[in-house]
A and B are shown apart, each in its own frame.
Chain A
Amino acid sequence: MNPARIAGLVDDRPAEGVFRVHADAFRSQDVFDLEMRTIFEAGWCFAGLECQVPKAHDFFTTRIGRQPVVVQRGADGRVRAFLNACRHKGAMVCHVQAGNARTHSCAYHGWAYDSTGANVGIKLRRQGAYTPAFDAESHDLRPARCESYRGFLFVSLNHDVPPLVEHLGGMAVFLDLVADQSPEGMELLPGPVTYTFNANWKFQVENTGDVYHFTSTHPSYIDVLAGRKAQGAEAPTTYSRFREQALVRGSFCFAQGHSAMWGSNPTPEARPLFLSLDEVEARVGEMRARWMLAVRNVTIFPNVQFAENASLQMRVIRPLGPGRTEMTGYCLAAKGEPREARLRRIRQYEEFFNPSGLATPDDTTAYEDCQAGMQAGQVDWHQGYMRGMAVVRQGADDYARELGVAPQTSAHGGFEMGDETIFHGPWRHWREVLMRAAAP
């Protein structure tokens, strides 16, 4: 592809106060193919959590970009990743979402692999009249890079990527704010929920940091919360008082396309974490505890988001095509939290985050309406990137300094500013990666 085509999809002129994105970035098959080849299949992607593979030989299967992958803990305790494709004819060797297996034997011609992906058997090899050339080849499942940051497992199909901590940069602090919510660590509650939508995956990336949409996309959810409050419900929910006070909302863009939206919390007492606040404060300090209770919606580019506005959701994005995406949501919970906190967490999670809940269907439907609307050729350049441009600054603001992170840009203002500069970092990174790959 011609790099000029990629360059021409993001109109980024900060000096003139302009930032626009072209609809082809969301709807073109050639752009999508390049994204898969580069961002997803040659960079770091989130794969899962170490707590999904606690014991030797535990594994789970996933996809990195379009490619099937097994993530497995070996007998040596190390977690590895390898492609879930038999070296004989490419059949998937592992057919279940998760399990424990010392060996994976291919159901087609019976080749066998151990829990590190090494080939441990080629059926009837001696009788196979193979040539020395065959013997000279590796028959192991193709390994991928796999690194963990505090139990968050990332995989890269490209062995020449920088170390994970370098890739994460300041985002590591936002993973700390999740990982440190309990002295015993975090756990995944049973019941991951998978859904699909007919829209580009980057709508999901953007929406998670999009403060501006909340009041217009979710009035039916706001009505429900207001109704509960009117009926004297004792359990407050995160958004039930968001109009009553001046709320700060801010955003950070980090290198590598990561971004974080944060904001002061109008009803911290609604959060499951609030019930353990004394313990948390004593352990991590007042400042970090406050940031844990704040609203935080972060995207570790390109495929994992942690949304903590009601309870905490970990969501994994799997693009299927330029106009089709699969999402899986997981409820992450503080191990050992009080029963009341756990109940609150589960109900808040279901009603806000589930595709069968009271909020997410309206977001997802809006992405689909965007994808359909993008067939309108005369509105190729989207204007949804310029709120907050008059206040965004290079580097850290006071809030970033307090948290101890060094973003590329920071912006903050009131809830109603509805900052859109949070999208700039991901797009700049996107353009850079794709242009590099498109260069002849």
Chain B
Amino acid sequence: MTALAEASAVLFAEAAALDERRWADWLALFTEDAVYHVPAWRDETTPTSDPEAEISLIYCASRAGLEERVQRITGGRSVASLPPPRTAHAVSNIVVAEDGAGLLVRSVWTSHVYNVKRREQHVFFSRVTHRLVRRESGWRIAHRHALLLNDCLPTLLDVYSL
């Protein structure tokens, strides 16, 4: 398989796990020390870049942070997370660069989120960079950076919106 095909398979698997709410499968795509980063914007044109000096919309320094979010989303104890939103993630414009560390994958994500309780829908679009590393079981996500372009958030944002 080409690098593009392998990378695409990982990204499509991530999108499908989010849409089908297969949270264990989604988490399993990440390495234990995976960084999950959604920057905020300094101003009209510049996103924040240093998560240790600037504010991010979401910054998880390891998979444990994602596990906490999944627990909150699925635990039934967060009014914001219920009823579960229906989502459709479309992934496109995938470009892959190979280097010694693995694959650096750039893509564009369009996430449609339907809030069933309010009968409202929102679209979030981001430019995403995945750093993929090879493990025995296949490619894993070591770093996911999603630059959300429409950052005036309608009520809330969670990992299923990205």
Q: Which residues of A does B touch, CB under 8 Å?
A: 96-98, 189-198, 217, 219-221, 223-224, 227-228, 326, 331, 342-343, 346-347, 349-350, 354-358, 360-362, 364-366, 368-369, 372
Contacts and interface: CB of A to CB of B under 8 A. Distances in A.
18 contacts: A97-B43, A189-B54, A191-B40, A191-B54, A196-B153, A219-B77, A219-B78, A220-B78, A221-B72, A223-B72, A223-B77, A224-B72, A227-B68, A350-B57, A354-B55, A355-B157, A361-B158, A368-B155
B52 A346 contact: yes
A255 B71 CA distance: 43
A362 B78 contact: yes
Contacts of B56: 191, 346, 350
B35 to A, nearest CB: 13
Contact of A342 (B53, B68, B153, B157): B53
Contacts, number: 123
A192 B155 contact: no
Given A191-B39, A224-B68, 10 more contacts: A190-B55, A191-B54, A191-B56, A192-B55, A220-B81, A223-B77, A343-B52, A346-B56, A350-B58, A365-B79
B152 A194 contact: yes
Given A189-B54, A219-B77, A358 B69 contact: yes
Contacts of B114: none
| B: contact size bracket | 35 or more
B48 A224 contact: no
Contacts of B156: 195, 355-356, 360-361, 364-365
A372 B155 CA distance: 14
Contact of A356 (B38, B42, B48, B52): B38
A190 B57 CA distance: 12
A48 to B, nearest CB: 14
A356 B43 CA distance: 18
Contact of B55 (A217, A220, A227, A349): A349
Contact of A358 (B42, B51, B72): B72
A372 B157 CA distance: 21
B80 A194 contact: no
Nearest to B41: A191
Contacts of B38: 356
A223 B71 contact: yes
Contacts of A195: 152-156
B136 interface: no
Contacts of A343: 52
Contacts of B43: 96-98
Contacts of B158: 356, 361
A163 B1 CA distance: 72
A360 B155 CA distance: 9
A379 B150 CA distance: 38
Contacts of B151: 193-194
A347 B51 CA distance: 9
B44 A97 contact: yes
Contacts of A331: 55
A192 to B, nearest CB: 7
B75 interface: yes
Contact of A194 (B53, B54, B68, B153): B153
A350 B48 CA distance: 13
B59 interface: yes
B150 to A, nearest CB: 11
B43 to A, nearest CB: 6
Contact of B77 (A97, A98, A189, A220): A220
Contacts of B77: 219-220, 223
B135 interface: no
B85 to A, nearest CB: 12
A196 B151 CA distance: 11
Contacts of B118: 198, 368, 372
A355 B153 contact: yes
B80 to A, nearest CB: 4
Given A97-B43, A349-B55, A350-B59, A223 B75 contact: yes
Contacts of B48: 190-191
Contacts of B81: 220, 361
Contacts of B153: 193-196, 355-356
A331 B75 CA distance: 29
Contacts of B57: 193, 350, 354, 356
A339 to B, nearest CB: 8
4 nearest A-B pairs in the assembled complex, by CB-CB distance: A191-B55, A191-B40, A361-B156, A361-B80
A266 to B, nearest CB: 21
Nearest to B153: A195
A197 B155 contact: yes
Nearest to B82: A365
A220 B55 CA distance: 23
Contacts of A198: 118, 155
A346 B78 contact: no
A217 B79 contact: yes
Contacts of B157: 355-356
Nearest to A354: B57
Nearest to A199: B155
Nearest to A99: B43
